Structures are given as C-alpha cells and as structure tokens.
Amino acid sequence: MNRSPVSRPAVPAVPPWLAHAFRAQREPVPWNAVCRGALAAGPALLAGMLLGRTALGVLAAIGAMLAGINDRPGGRRAAVRRLGVPASAGAAGLLVGTYAGQGLTAVPLTLVLTALGLAAGGISAVGPVASAAGTQLLVAAAVGAGTPAADPGWLRALAFLAGAGWLLVLRLVLPTPGSLAGDFRFDGERAAVAGVYDAIAALVEAAGGPHATARRAALTAALDHAQDALAGPRLRGHAASAAERRLHARFAAALPLAEAATALCWAGEPVPARAARGPRRLAAAVRADTGPGPLPAPHLPPARLSAPEAPSVLPALRALDDALLGAAEAFDRGDGAHRGLPVRRRGPRRALRAALGAGGREYGLRVALCFGASAAIAQALHHARWYGPHPHWYWLPATAVFLVKPDLGPLASRVLCRAAGTVLGALVFAGLAALLPHPAGLIALVAVCGALIPVATRHFAALTAVVTVLVLALVMAGGEPQASAGRIGETLLACALVLVVGHLPMPGERGGGVRDRLAVAGGAAHAYLLHVLGPPGHEHAAGSGDHAGRRVPPGEPGDRAERWAQGGGRGDRAERWTKGGGPGDRAERWALRREAYRTLAEARTAISHAAAELPALARHTEGTDAVAEALERLVDTTTACAVHLDDTGRLTPRHLRRLREALAELERLEGRGVRVPLPVAA
C-alpha cells in the first residue's frame, strides 16, 4: 500500500541577529597567551598589596587585563603597537578622568566625557589598533572619574601603564612553548609566514572545486596576519637582524605564489595534486627555520584540457612553477637580501580621512551619546539615596563603551552576549566570593581569570563573563563590598540605553562605516586595475594615494585590455622591463594586489556584521554584499590578467569577457541605486 508523504511544518530559520550570538571562533588554545595572562593581572594585584598600595595594584591589574584582551597571535614587534598604543591611550584616559572627576561637578564632567567619547569614537574607525585605543581611553576615563581615590591622577596612570607594560614585557621575553627552533623571538612571525604557504597549498588543492572561493578568502586572511606580524615598529627603516631579513624575504617570495594560486582558482580547473607539495614543503621549512630541501619538478596538466581551458590554466601553472623556483632561491640565500615588505603603508592622511569620514562621524556621535548619557545616569544613581551606597559608578559607562563598538559584532548580538555574560559572571562570582579566603583567594581568582581571557576572546559572552568575575574580584580586593546584583542591573540598563541610541537616526547616511570601507576597497581595486591594464606610466601615479571615489575614464580599462589582446601592449611592458622597471613594477603590483584584497576583506567583515543587525538597521546596508562580490570578481580577474600578460603578453577572449562582466555588474548595481565605490564604464 502506497503511503502519501507526511508533511511536517518547516522549522523556522533563526534570524541572523540571533544566530550571530551563538557563533564562536574555533582556534587552538593559545597556551603561551594563557601563561602570560596567569602571570600578569594576579601578580600585579599581589605586588600592590605587598607594597601597601592596594588601590594602585587594582589599577595595574586592570591595565594588565585590558592588555590581555588585545594579546593576540602574531609577531613580538607587532605586539608593541597592538598592546602599547591602547595602553598609552588608557593611561591618558585615566589621567583625564581622574582630574576631571576630582575637579568638576556632574554637568561639566558629563560634557567632558561626552567630548572624549566623540573623539574616541572617530578615532576607532581608523583600524583595529585605533579601535582598541579608543575603547581603553573611554573605559579608563570612566574608571578614573567614577572611582574615588586619594592618589593623584599621574600616579594612577603610571600604575595602569605598569600593569599593561608588565604583560608586554612577558610577551616580548617569554618563548612560545614548543617553538624554540631558530631565534625564538620571531616564532610568531615564522608561524604567520608558514600559514601563508599552507594557505597557498590549500588554494591550489581546491582549484576547480566548490571550496576554492573560501580557500582564497583564507589565503587573504593568512597574508593579512603575516603582514601585520612582520610590520611592527622599529628604530631603523628595515629589518636589522639576519633572522628577520630572512622572514621578510620568505614572505615576499610567497606573494607571487599567492598570485599564481589565485589565477589557478580563477581558471576554475583542477590541477595535479603534486602542485601543492612545493608550498607545503616551504611551509615546513619556515616553521623549522631551515632550507626547503628538494622541491617537486614542474609538471604541466594532462592533455585532456580543451582548447578554451588550456590558455587560462597553463600560464597560471607556469607562473606557479616560476614562483616556486624564485621562492627556493630566496630560501637558499640564507639571511635574505630583501630589506622591505612589498606592501603599501597607510599614512596619516588616510587615518584622518577615516576618522572624519561618514563612518567615523556616525560612530563618534553614537559613542559620545552613549558614553555621555550613561555617565549622567550613573552619576544620578550614585547620588540617589534610594539606590544605596554606591561609591563606584564607572560600570555603566564602561559597559556602554563595549556595547557600542561595531567591530565586536552586530548590536543585537553584543547586547545579548553582554547581558548573558554579565549575569553568568556575577552569579559565579557571588558563589566564589562566599567560599574563597580573602585576600589570597581573590588574588588566585584574578590570576585564573587572566589566564582564561585569551581563550574567552573566542566569544563575546564568554569574554564578558570572565571579565565580570575578574573586575568584581578586583573591586572586593580593593575593600568594597560584593556588588554582583548592582552590576547586573547596571549592565541591563546599559544594554537598553545602547539599543535605543543604536537605532536613533543620525545626521548623514546610515551604514556609513560599511560604505566607507567599500569605498576604500573600490579605490584599491581601481588602483590595481589601472596598474595592470592602465596606460603606460599611469600605474605609479595610480598607486600613490587614496583612490576612493576616483573615476576610471570611460572605456579606458576595456580599451587597454583590447590592445593587450591584439598584442599592442606587449611592447610597452617589454620596454619597461628592458629599462629595469620589471622587478619594481611587479613589487608595486603585488603591493596593490595586497591592498585590494585586504580592504575587501575588511569591507566583507563590516558587511557581515551589518547584515546580522536587527532588520531596522540591516536594511540600511542592503545590496552592499553584491558590490563586494563584484569587486572581488574584478580583482580576481585582474590578477588572472596580470599572470597571463606576464606569460603571453596578450589577453584571451575569456579574460576580456570576464572583465567586461565584472565592470558591467558594477555599473548595473549603480543603476539600481546601490552606491558603487568604483563607478566605471564597461
């Protein structure tokens, strides 16, 4: 007997704003950061107690805690900027907050904190380090103004810096467990550069498969991480030690490999498995700080490739073999002759433009409104008799600062995670406070929480819970009563405040941060496109500044591509190589390519966060993901064109068709009302 299928009600899909709250990063446990966290905040608090200056010890532990939140994998030299700049901003905020809190009444103090929030919010739009600096500036200012103390502001700022500086010293001195090969000072850089070669191998293996696009994005992330790890501050303009020069040379050797692998991904055809063995061996050599040994010989694909496919795959495979040979030569040179990273530096003009742009203004206004309003409410509660004894009122504005940060995730997700994490952390601390001996138990609890921070950074709720326990332990160690219930109430109040302010209309266009990042990505794609296909002599001018909003003359890239297809551009490039401009031309091209993919990745992150907002906010950035996809296709095609031109001197009809399709898609999006940051005529 035939049975009709039983219809079941469809399971409703979880809305993006709720699904994002349950996402967590999956990474190996950073045991080195765990060890540093255990040795930072707890010992700082203990030192303050032993010296009879418990209040300063608490501030040192807070400085170590905030530095621990920014303690991420990477190079030691890069950690100086990643930890030192936010710590310096936090010390400045503590200094201003302390003197303002001691010398101003409620209304002037609120105005000062509001102005500070406006400046810190605009600065936070510049980049991750600037965002961390803006956060620590405001959090420390709230602590300084909302915590009564007999110590002068300059001494409190020094204590804060001492705690953060202690963690930075541990970051620079302690070796990574299991990474003692070669010079351990560069173990983070070695791991980052080796990750690039592994990502190249993974992309080559995925060429022609369904995971090729994801692997190309993973390669961009690996290159960004390695670039940040190697680009730390230094006294000289180039790498001084042989070990560092060697790493810079090996990173530079990975750029042409990454370019060739991207061209293979664009071609969309599977390649022999042995093509990925060379990058794998190079990755192992970087990790062990040794030579790569014998590499696989060049191997062309089988003859089964059809005529339309072969012209796209063979030049990319030859480019991969040439890049592999060049990498082997760079590895054999020992300390390397390379003295600079072939990447573009982001100057102060671009930082100022980001801070004063639409995204910086919108973010600054929201931060200022949240920070000022939360400080005013906290002071009103502090003076209200029915609220009870409440000597510290910094929790509410400090919570609002973390909640209003868009780079920590969508607003609804941040609010849910912050509320859940605070409730969990406060309840856990209430139970531990009744069991642990004082003060030894509190010091041990601070040390344990410091060790858990590097693991808890995978999820905002977990990080909030750990930080809540740590801060409540510090408050009690400083002599204040247990205040879990009050912290829960203030956190929920801050969540409601930020939700309201986050949905308020502001002057200018909503979603300005996303559109600003797309505009920067479009300008970078523009510069890269002109360098590869633009008129001779234009590429260096195109790469010299910020190109967001500049227009490509109608038909210029297409006309240039047509001349390459007819062989008319080959002589121009050959002439530049004859004059000795070849290596510099390629280094500039790789730098422009890196900038294009990096800015696209940053725009993609901002778009994904905006798409997971509540519908009232998400609608303001609708269509921006289509612009990012079109720009990615354009940059991928430009990369394939560059590799093909190096090999044959002309473009195939497939390259021209894909170029026209990408440019036409951008023009179509502009016609539908989506602002395209790279308006070009196909």
Q: Which region among 41-45, 525-529, 569-573, 668-672 has the lowest average model confidence (pLDDT)?
A: 569-573
pLDDT at 375: 93
CB environment 570-607: b (16+ within 10 A), e (fewer): eeebeebeeeeeeeebbbbbbbbbbbbbbbbbbbbebb
Cβ proximity of 42 and 444 under 8 Å: yes
Mean pLDDT of 519-538: 80
Identify residue 498 by its one-letter amino acid code: V
Identify residue 76 by its one-letter amino acid code: R
**Mean pLDDT of all residues in the chain?**
81
Distance separating alpha carbons of residues 146 and 371, to the nearest angstrom: 13
pLDDT exceeds cutoff 70 at 563: no
pLDDT at 298: 66
Residues 6+ apart with CB under 8 A from 607: 514, 518, 621, 624, 625, 628
Cβ proximity of 503 and 613 under 8 Å: no
pLDDT interval class at 11 (50, 70, 90): very low
Distance separating alpha carbons of residues 355 and 674, to the nearest angstrom: 24
**Token pair of 620 as six digits:** 């303001």
pLDDT at 508: 62
Cβ proximity of 681 and 555 under 8 Å: yes
In terms of C-beta density within 10 A (0-12 exposed, 13-18 middle, 19 or more buried), how is residue 667 classed? Answer: middle
Distance separating alpha carbons of residues 349 and 545, to the nearest angstrom: 9
Identify residue 311 by its one-letter amino acid code: P
28-78: per-residue pLDDT in tens? Answer: 888 889 999 999 999 999 999 999 999 999 999 999 999 999 988 888 888
369-397: per-residue pLDDT in tens? Answer: 999 999 999 998 877 654 555 567 889 99
pLDDT at 370: 92
Distance separating alpha carbons of residues 45 and 179, to the nearest angstrom: 30
State the angle between helix axes of 153-173 and 31-38 in degrees (0 to 180), rounded to the nearest 10.
140
pLDDT interval class at 1 (50, 70, 90): very low
pLDDT interval class at 89 (50, 70, 90): very high
Residue 445 backbone phi and psi in degrees, to 5? -65, -40
Q: Is the peptide bond before 439 cis (omega within 30 degrees of 0)?
A: yes
Identify residue 502 by its one-letter amino acid code: G
Q: How many residues are present in the chain?
A: 682
Instruction: Name the residue with tokens 């107690």.
Output: 49
Identify residue 308 by its one-letter amino acid code: P
261-313: per-residue pLDDT in tens? Answer: 999 999 888 888 888 889 999 999 998 888 887 777 666 554 444 444 455 67
Distance between first and last Cα of the chain = 62
Distance separating alpha carbons of residues 18 and 21, to the nearest angstrom: 5
With the C-alpha atoms ordered 74, 78, 80, 83, is the resulting torsion angle positive or negative? negative
Q: What percent of the chain lies above the pLDDT cut of 70? A: 80
Cβ proximity of 87 and 164 under 8 Å: yes
Distance separating alpha carbons of residues 124 and 405, to the nearest angstrom: 9
Instruction: Please tell me whether residue 130 adopts helix, strand or coil conformation.
Output: helix
313-328: per-residue pLDDT in tens? Answer: 788 888 998 899 888 8
Task: Find the angle CA(389)-CA(395)-CA(401) to the nearest 5 degrees.
Answer: 155
Report which listed range, 70-79, 144-153, 248-257, 348-357, is most confident.
248-257
Distance separating alpha carbons of residues 409 and 21, to the nearest angstrom: 9
pLDDT at 183: 62
619-660: per-residue pLDDT in tens? Answer: 878 888 889 999 999 999 999 999 988 888 888 888 889 989
pLDDT at 113: 94
The DSSP annotation for 585-616 comes to HHHHHHHHHHHHHHHHHHHHHHHHHHHTS-HH
Segments in 612-675 forming alpha helices (H): 615-618, 624-648, 653-671
DSSP label at 59? H
Torsion of CA 594, 276, 604, 670, to 10 degrees: 80
pLDDT at 306: 44
pLDDT exceeds cutoff 60 at 149: yes
411-438: per-residue pLDDT in tens? Answer: 888 889 999 999 999 999 989 988 888 8
pLDDT exceeds cutoff 50 at 531: yes
pLDDT interval class at 231 (50, 70, 90): confident
CA nearest 66: which of 35, 89, 43, 98? 89
pLDDT interval class at 481 (50, 70, 90): confident
